[in-house]
Chains A and B, each alone.
Chain A
Amino acid sequence: MILLEADQIRVALAGRPVVNGVGLRVAAGQMLALLGPNGAGKTTLLAALAGLRPFQGEIRIQGRSLARLNRRERARALAYLPQGQTAHWPLTVRRLVELGRLPHQAPWHPPAAADRLAVASALERTGIAALAERPFDTLSGGERARALLARVLAVEAPLVLADEPVASLDPYHQLRVMELLRDHADTGAAVIIVLHDLTLAARFCDELVLLRDGRLVASGATESVLTTHHLADTYRVTALQGEYESQRYVLPWQRHSRDREHPG
């Protein structure tokens, strides 16, 4: 079942085209990586898919046009984790995760049994149940990442959009977060994730979408997307590639010496 389908998406920020005619689709159980160098338009595209930026083109979620969904319907259909997400007030972890239940709660009503269950399950799955009463600002970086991910999982939306959720995490927590998202996809959700780590993308994702300057360069399976040619063309690097236990790894190794003139 296709959970999200986007056609000919164009997004302009301050009059400048940032995403230019990109299309993608992701099915239930799938994990899709948005790749590309800095400034390629990944974050803007993801925000547009979440309904947070004005766009041209068509985005359908479970067959329904995103533009037709009201705020609450959209909030239940997709959970969004912004880049560099943090908490402005040091809420306790439990209170933070409870925010994910907002789309399901009627105003002025205390959390229902389903809300408490969803929060408990999200805390359990991310392994932070023991930290539930700790203020957010007392957590380590890895614990914070898991708490913010638990907030996203607590929405229990069929679609998860995560913008660089592993940035600035140690290798252990990078793997942990990727495994959590992979597990979530395996339970029937669809996950779209912005990544810079090509090996994580190759190992954990079913589908890769490679962008440059707001345009789609390639999409599909790892072998067809992370080719020597594409890596040179988009990231301007040469990478070591190989396989370990039948899983692919991609290690950016050498920068191309001449800087390409950047348009705009």
Chain B
Amino acid sequence: MTASTDSQRYRRISLGLAMLLVGLTVAGLLLGSLPLNPWQTLLHLIDGDPRLAIIVLEIRLPRVLLGLLVGTSLGLSGAALQGLLRNPLAEPGILGVSASAGLGAVLALYFGLARVTVWALPSCALLGALLATVILALLAARDSNPLSLILAGVAVSSLAIALTSLALNLAPNPLALSEMVLWLLGSLRDRGLSDVALAIPFMAVGWALLLSAGRELDALTLGEDAARSLGVGIGWLHARVIGGTALTVGAATAVTGTVGFVGLIAPHLLRPWLGYQPSRILLPAALTGAALLAAADLAVRLIPTRQELMLGVVTALLGVPFFIHLLLYTRRTAP
């Protein structure tokens, strides 16, 4: 394996993933819980059948788009965080951003704000994510040691989970309780293009911040002092990765609820093929995250269950065995 075949492989894998995403998008638009023949659907759609247009464009399109956006965000921020913390077990949830966004959403439901306007729930969730980031920045500002950041994240996350439990505990009635619990489980069901419009600006800024960090994350492989000696501004790098994660994962949680493990898994699926250099994992991990979420959502819609499975449940069920395998494997190879 020489340098040139190395980058060929990178391009080939990225291209393959992009093609997979196109396939999953088309499948997501044509397949669903309504037993429609995909081929007929396509033909009717071209003919301009209004009922099908509603199903495909107003129900399935936002769902598919959100799946891609959220998956991209989780995969990208997972890869960037693993690079920043130099820890293969890091994932977006570790900073407590998603738990805090979840808390914001639960509070919006608890106080009935969510019934006032469709923007209330995602806005409260974003506010939660923002607040978590500020607390995180204050807690971790003293030093940029990865361990301090992880501990600060654990503290923020635990607080958000405790407050969320409190809200559930004090739920005014069983209906509100089930509403909050179901929302926390994560789903792409019944989302509209307004959710897409809300999430996109935050995500786009976050993606740009995360993607810009690649080479500096590479330098962190040598540790903080050596990276600084190579001209990396550690504080600025932390700000970009944490800020980028807060924006992308905050927005993702605001529109879908908590979806775990995609950010953890995506980088690991790629390392056997692309090596360990953080900058070479970022973009493919984003594509992999999008593909994983699109596939999981397709599975949720196609698996016939009494009630539609929640997306967060499916990704966690797939993710936990992988996580355990990872724990065992990293212990075996640790020096």
Contact = CB atoms under 8 A, between A and B. Distances in A.
A50 B220 CA distance: 17
A81 interface: yes
B225 A75 contact: no
A59 to B, nearest CB: 14
Q: How large is the interface on A (under 10, 10 to 19, 20 to 34, 35 or more residues)?
A: 35 or more
Contacts, number: 84
Nearest to A96: B221
B322 interface: no
Contacts of B222: 82, 85, 87-88, 96, 99, 151
Interface in B220-240: 220-223, 225-226, 228-233
B221 A75 contact: no
B201 interface: no
A87 B221 contact: yes
Interface residues of B, number: 26
A47 interface: yes
Determine which residue in A79, A88, A96, A151 has the highest number of CB atoms from chain B within 10 A of its CB, and name it: A88
Contacts of A133: 1-2
Interface in A54-95: 71-72, 74-76, 78-82, 85-92, 94-95
A75 B223 contact: no
B234 to A, nearest CB: 10
B226 A81 contact: yes
Contacts of A71: 228, 231-233
A74 B219 contact: no
B215 A92 contact: no
Interface stretch (A33-41, A101-109, A213-221, A229-237): A101-109
B86 A75 contact: no
B148 interface: no
A79 B229 contact: yes
A137 B233 CA distance: 27
Interface string B192-223: 00000000000000000000100100111111
A126 B277 CA distance: 22
A89 B276 contact: yes
A92 B6 CA distance: 11
Nearest to B231: A75
B220 A88 contact: yes
B230 A100 contact: yes
A82 to B, nearest CB: 5
A112 interface: no
Contacts of B233: 71
A92 B225 contact: no
B90 to A, nearest CB: 12
B275 interface: yes
Interface of B: 1-3, 86, 212, 215, 218-223, 225-226, 228-233, 275-278, 333, 335
